[in-house]
Amino acid sequence: MTGGPEPISAEGLRAVQEELAQLRADREEVAATLRGVDPVGDRADAADELQRASEVTRLDRRIVELEGRLREASVAGAPSTEVVGVGSTVTVRFADGVEETVEISELAEERELTLVTFDSPLGKALLGRHAGETVNYETPGGATSAVVLSVGSGPE
């Protein structure tokens, strides 16, 4: 992305919030199984305890990462309506003449077919572009292009 605070799309925000809630629930569940000060039984019990403690640490790291992303998005504000960035809604005309409105997102979800991730070939080509510009990118079928017709801030 750009290196500075990045806006987040409405869909991306929802996905991050859902993941964060699930991680917090998972962490609480795993942490409740840790014995604390009670002595651990045999080696298998000790290994199991260590594995659960490692899982809590992994969950904590991901929680901190997502909380940081939410803080960054709040600092960045709304996506630009002038230049394509994460969270932008972009209407493009593909080389075959088909026009489509897509949202540039951090996350791809099967149920949301209009999301284009910022690190996909099309997403990379669109980032930083303005209405009227033509972008070139690679697809599994070969090189192609699209014209940026308009840039918006995304659905609310």
pLDDT, tens digit, 9 for 90 and up, residues 50-83: 889 999 999 999 999 999 888 887 777 666 678 8
Question: Average pLDDT, stretch 95-104?
Answer: 90
Q: Are residue 115 and residue 62 in the same domain, yes or no? A: no
Q: Are residue 127 and residue 69 in the same domain, yes or no? A: no
Please state the pTM of the whole predicted model: 0.58
Predicted confidence at residue 87, as pLDDT, reads 80
Domain boundary among 54, 76, 98: 76
Does a structural domain hold residue 81?
no
Q: Are residue 67 and residue 121 in the same domain, yes or no? A: no
Q: What is the 3-state secondary structure (H, E, C) of the chain?
A: CCCCCCCCCHHHHHHHHHHHHHHHHHHHHHHCCCCCCCCCCCHHHHHHHHHHHHHHHHHHHHHHHHHHHHHHHHHHCCCCCCCCCCCCEEEEEECCCCEEEEEEECCCCCCCCCEEECCCHHHHHHCCCCCCCEEEEEECCEEEEEEEEEEECCCC
- Total domain count for the chain? 2
Predicted confidence at residue 156, as pLDDT, reads 43
Q: Is the pLDDT of residue 8 over 80?
A: no
Question: Average pLDDT, stretch 84-109?
Answer: 85
CATH code for the domain of 105: 3.10.50.30
Q: Are residue 71 and residue 112 in the same domain, yes or no? A: no
Q: Are residue 110 and residue 146 in the same domain, yes or no? A: yes
Q: Are residue 70 and residue 120 in the same domain, yes or no? A: no
Confidence of residue 100 (pLDDT cuts 50, 70, 90): very high
Q: Are residue 96 and residue 55 in the same domain, yes or no? A: no
Residues in the chain: 156
**Structural domain harbouring 40:** 10-76
CA angle in degrees (0–180, nearest 5) for 128-143-102: 45
Give the mean pLDDT of the chain.
83
Does a structural domain hold residue 133?
yes
Q: Are residue 116 and residue 148 in the same domain, yes or no? A: yes
Does a structural domain hold residue 29?
yes
CA angle in degrees (0–180, nearest 5) for 79-129-3: 60
Predicted confidence at residue 113, as pLDDT, reads 56
Question: Average pLDDT, stretch 39-44?
Answer: 65
Question: Average pLDDT, stretch 35-42?
Answer: 60
Percent of the residues in the chain that have a pLDDT greater than 90, as a whole number: 40
